[in-house]
Amino acid sequence: MKIARWLLLIIFFILTGCRSRVIKITVVNSSAEKISNIVIDYPGATFGISSLAPDKTFPYSIKPNATGPLKIQFTNAHGADRNSTGPVVQKNDEGSVEIRLTQDGATSAAKMIQPQ
């Protein structure tokens, strides 16, 4: 009997929305050459990608713990370092950001969901 109650309690928590708010980042190499040493800095943490081949994507989820812009750094195929600033993200944001890299820089587009 106790197992059935615990099972019902677990199902209740799953169905009532116990979930974490995250931002899904997609990094896209939209150039014709490899990009390397990619670093995405966001409030509270950083993640990196060693290299990204042409036309490839890299998905990653983040959970900012403060307000601030994404900072994007990478090295192009010719060894030049590039730096760009992305959208501002906040604690408890939820949504997605697509970061498109070229040999010259980065552009980004954010789609955030307003909390209900």
Q: How does pLDDT run along the chain (116 residues), one tens digit per residue? A: 566 666 665 666 565 555 678 999 999 999 999 999 999 999 999 999 999 999 999 999 999 999 999 999 999 999 999 999 999 999 999 999 999 999 999 999 999 986 65
Is 20-112 a domain of CATH 2.60.40.2890? yes
Please tell me the predicted confidence (pLDDT) of residue 22: 94
Please tell me the predicted confidence (pLDDT) of residue 109: 96
Query: pTM here?
Result: 0.82
Calpha distance 82→2 (Å, rounded): 59
- What distances in angstroms separate CA 44 from CA 64, 77, 89, 91, one per listed residue? 6, 29, 11, 10
Please tell me the predicted confidence (pLDDT) of residue 49: 98
Query: So where are the chain's domains?
Result: 20-112
3-state secondary structure of 11: helix
Q: Supply the Cα-derived Rg of the chain in whole angstroms.
A: 18
- The CB density around residue 13, as the number of other CB atoms within 10 Å, is 10
Please tell me the predicted confidence (pLDDT) of residue 113: 86
Query: Which is nearest to 42 in space by CA: 73, 20, 21, 19?
Result: 73
